[in-house]
Chain A
Amino acid sequence: QKEVEQDPGPLSVPEGAIVSLNCTYSNSAFQYFMWYRQYSRKGPELLMYTYSSGNKEDGRFTAQVDKSSKYISLFIRDSQPSDSATYLCAMKYSSYKLIFGSGTRLLVRP
């Protein structure tokens, strides 16, 4: 079993839709949770970082962590074609090593 599971998609939604991206994990020692966005042939870009259960909002993005269920989500409101990318969840213990999910490919149709 992988430490971090993420549905690869692709997920196709119309412009303006609310997008929900999810990851599950098996190791309860994970304390820090991040979401990265990666455009094709580009490096990952940090979108959201959180370390506690609950919600964190930044503009159109909301990150949600449920440690009891070992489940994290990223919500994108009013999705735009420019949001079309691969979204990677990442998490770590108290140390340095980030463990990534395999990524979900998102396509927002105009």
Chain B
Amino acid sequence: NAGVMQNPRHLVRRRGQEARLRCSPMKGHSHVYWYRQLPEEGLKFMVYLQKENIIDESGMPKERFSAEFPKEGPSILRIQQVVRGDSAAYFCATAPGNTGNTIYFGEGSWLTVV
């Protein structure tokens, strides 16, 4: 997991607030994936991005959720107007290419909505 940096590691938000989760890929990696893990469940794919492009957002809820990976800076997963059901661990994973079979996960951001 070394190299994929996620912050914040823990975030508490009240219902209705916004949550912003950041992911800095490993050096040389230009492909970013976001996964969500609910308690006692496996990881669910949310979105796949390359620099400045969203390639696949089929796992992302249609409302309140958005993701970006700008030319400069980290990838951002943004959740607007959070609800209790958004409480989960959000993992970023990165890879050097889209067919790479090895993707590396960060340590995750734990969001708690109170």
| Chain A residues near B (Cβ < 8 Å) | 4, 6, 8, 32, 34, 36, 41-46, 49, 51, 88, 90, 94-103
Question: B43 an interface residue at 8 Å Cβ cutoff?
Answer: yes
Beta-carbon contacts under 8 Å, B1-20 to A: 1, 4, 6
B84-114: which have CB < 8 Å to A?
A: 91, 95, 98-99, 101-108, 110
Is the beta-carbon distance between A88 and B42 smaller than 8 angstroms?
Answer: yes
Contact of A45 among B33, B56, B105 (CB under 8 A): B105
The smallest beta-carbon distance between A80 and chain B, in angstroms, is: 20
Question: Could you tell me if A88 and B43 are in contact, using CB atoms closer than 8 angstroms?
Answer: yes
Listed A/B pairs (10) with beta-carbon separation below 8 Å = A41-B108, A43-B91, A44-B43, A94-B99, A96-B55, A96-B56, A98-B43, A98-B103, A100-B42, A100-B43
User: Which residues of chain B come closer than 8 Å to A43, judged between CB atoms?
Assistant: 1, 4, 6, 91, 105-108
Residue of A nearest to B38 (CB): A102
Interfacial chain A residues near B91, Cβ < 8 Å? 43-44
Least CB distance from A33 to B in Å reads: 10
B residues whose Cβ falls under 8 Å from a Cβ of A? 1, 4, 6, 31, 33, 35, 40-45, 48, 55-56, 91, 95, 98-99, 101-108, 110
CA distance A88 to B89 in the complex (A): 15
Residues B45 and A41 in contact, CB atoms below 8 Å apart: no
